[in-house]
Structure 1
Amino acid sequence: MPETSTSLFRSLRGRVTGIAVAGTALALLAPVPAMAASAQASATAADPVSVLKYTAKERREALAYWTTARIKAVGKSVDLGPTGPKAKPYKGATLKTVGRLFFVNARGADTWCTATAVKSANRSAVMTAAHCVRMGSSPGNTNTSMVFVPAYDKGKQPYGAFAVRSAATPRTWENDSLNDMSALVVDADKKGRELTDVVGGQPISFDRAVGGTVTALGYSATRPQLGEELLRCVGKTKRENGTQMIPCDLTGGASGGPWLADFDATTGKGKGVLVSVNASLDSLEPTKMYGEVLRSTAKKVYDKAQKS
């Protein structure tokens, strides 16, 4: 996939990772000084979770930045080919918890991922992929202007937009591109309501056995939807290459979208337990979607977010 049409595509353990999309020309990355990166790693080596925080001013600016016109423009600027055959439009009951996550990536390009509101102590946690927050193995290259729009559909924002105030990722992702998952914390809405008080939250499971049927969801930049409509794949998980895999051809923009177990993709009924998120596609077989098995590191990331 050419870099001009996707933001963070690159090889990793025989896979293509970073299925977010970029809608504008890409700028050069600013290098991270080796001594500064080393000092940072030493200072935080004891903490397995890295937390990126946004100021109140940055959060206000993020909400102002993502206008209806800008959202429409970023969707129209990327076309990653036809949808399917495995990915199909989701037609079940409205999933209030799943939405588009808009941001400006580390290269300075407008882009988006997919994210999910989950049950949490602070009622404000959202799960997505780590590469939707920052570049792997590059501590200084982080994303900005992050806004979560739950239940986004064809320009409609029925529950408004929530600015991201912090993003927790595994330290192993920041330094070594391992464990591609992240837990965000969002601000309350304009009426002072916390996220899951407005849209609810999916339960999340850690150390769940690989092998069950899941529904993967995401706002893929494939046509005719081009990120405007939620797409889904349904398949049985299989352990592969140290993670888990399902047959799925969702692509750029679907990054961070949930893998839901105990869920009926046709009706939208069932608990919809989140067991992973879309992380990467196989570089040779783009019908294989990979997601991390959520274990102790993922639980620490989630706990860091839900308790903040």
Structure 2
Amino acid sequence: MKRTLAALGLGIVLVGSTATPAQAAVASVPLAGTAAAGLQTAAFWLADGGANLRNATPYAVRTSVSVTDLPVAPVPDGKPGSTAPLIPPDGEDPATVGKVFFVGGDGQPHWCTGTALQSQYRNLVATAGHCVLDIEGASAAQSHVVFVPGYADGAAPEGLYVGKSAFVHDEFSLYDDLERDYAFMTVYNGVAADSAGVLSDTGRLGDNTGGQGFAWNQPAGSSLRLLGYPAGPHPDGTLPYNGRNLQQSTGTASWVAAPELSAEWLVGVDSPFTGEGSLGSAWLLRYEASKQLGYLNGVTMSVSDTDADNRYDTGVSAYFDSQAAMIYKAAAASWTGRLV
């Protein structure tokens, strides 16, 4: 479904100006825009010992796509740039990657993968755009959107972080342009529930988990580390992942196009991840395993079987250019605060 300018009536706010090769129009989409709404969202996920977290299923919208190689490499819209990762202030190992949970247009709880990023207020998460915006329904955004870093086997070791706003490219928010299928979500301070269901504040996301850096206008051909929670099957029916724990893969990036999506400027990377669950997976450039930190240079928006052997072999991401960097910077300068 293509959105029109009527989507502005659903709460989307354009922050930037008309897009040019060097400037993006930034759309800010409210998620839980008030503390009261945030508390309701937190209660939804933490009630009954986190039953909704455990019962959520991997998001299965647009998980696979056919891609082709690009004969001529596109020219980026500016010089390469980056922001450095954030080492956790307490010296603990970073736990930046986790699950983004939400209630989809079908009314059911689902999850994608998300990544904590360096930001001014240490409150930023990156994921696929269609994991926070409902591209199949009439609503502007998914509901009850939260981030659980370090998620493993039903546990939320670093707390639960309720999404306040999602910052996306206006071409994605208005027209579902999948060459802009990424989102930067600001989150409130984390919360945890005791045995009686009383919520307590667990602090800012970046203070607890650290944050990956961010890189844009990088050349293709780089080696990338992918981190995510794949869970779905390959086309041949095999099910190599269960989505309960974080998985990794390493591959080389290249330019691809997805004609069926009218997307002519995407990036592919060699990866065996299946689509369900891995949407939003982190693509990390210059990843240092000893520090568990690198520079986010893509998020999985879909996967592809490029050699037709009925097994996925390629992750697909929008390219992070200067316009993606502007959206990231706008989100990274947005304050949220605490719920309790």
Q: 1:70 to 1:176 in 2, by over 3 A?
A: same
1:251-281 per-residue CA deviation (whole Å, 9 max, x = no partner) reads 21111111011225xx454642111111112
Q: Equivalents in 1 of 2:129, 2:99: separation in Å?
A: 15
Structure with greater proportional strand content:
2
User: Does 1:73 pair with 2:83?
Assistant: no
TM-score for the superposition, normalised by structure 1: 0.76
| C-alpha spacing 1:209/1:121, structure 2 compared with 1 (3 Å) | same
Matching residue of 2:225: 215
2:245 to 202, 224, 229: 229
CA distance in 2, matches of 1:41, 1:191: 28
Equivalent position of 1:240 in the other structure: 256
Rate the CA distance shift 1:213–1:129 in 2: closer, same or farther, 3 A: same
TM superposition shift of 1:233: 1.8
Alignment counterpart, residue 253 of structure 1, candidates 270, 274, 277: 277
Unaligned runs of 5+ in 1: 1-28, 79-92
1:92-241 equivalences in 2 (<5 Å): 95-136=94-135, 140-178=139-177, 179-189=180-190, 190-191=200-201, 193-222=203-232, 223=239, 225-241=241-257
Aligned to 2:313: 287
Instruction: Tell me, yes or no, if the aligned pair for 2:161 and 2:189 is still in contact at 8 Å.
Output: yes
Name the % identity.
26
Q: Which has the larger radius of gyration?
A: 2
In structure 2, the residue corresponding to 1:155 is in which secondary structure?
A: coil
- List gaps (5 residues or longer) in structure 2: 19-24, 61-91, 191-199, 233-238, 258-264, 335-340
Other structure's SS at 1:154 match: coil
Aligned to 1:64: 43
Secondary structure of residue in 2 paired with 1:66: helix
Distance 1:252 1:283 in 2: 14
**Equivalent residues in 2 for 1:35-46 (5 A)?**
36-37=6-7, 44=14, 46=17
Question: 2:181 and 2:104 mapped to 1: Cα distance?
Answer: 16
Task: Give the secondary structure class of the aligned counterpart of 1:272.
Answer: strand
Relative to 1, partners in 2 of residues 1:156 and 1:211: Cα closer, same or farther, differing over 3 Å? Answer: same
Question: Would the aligned equivalents of 2:287 and 2:295 in 1 still touch at CA under 8 Å?
Answer: yes
2:69 alignment counterpart: none
Question: What are the equivalent positions in structure 2 for 1:257-268 lying under 5 Å apart?
Answer: 257-263=281-287, 267-268=289-290
User: Given the alignment of the two structures, is residue 50 of structure 1 paired with residue 72 of structure 2, yes or no?
Assistant: no
Instruction: Report how many aligned residue pairs link the two structures.
Output: 262
Please give the secondary structure, in 1, of the residue aligned with 2:203: coil
Give the superposition deviation at 1:141. Answer: 3.7
Query: What RMSD over aligned residues (CA atoms) do the two structures have, in Å?
Result: 3.1
Alpha-carbon distance change, 287 to 187 in structure 1, aligned in 2, over 3 angstroms: same
TM-score, scaled relative to structure 2? 0.69
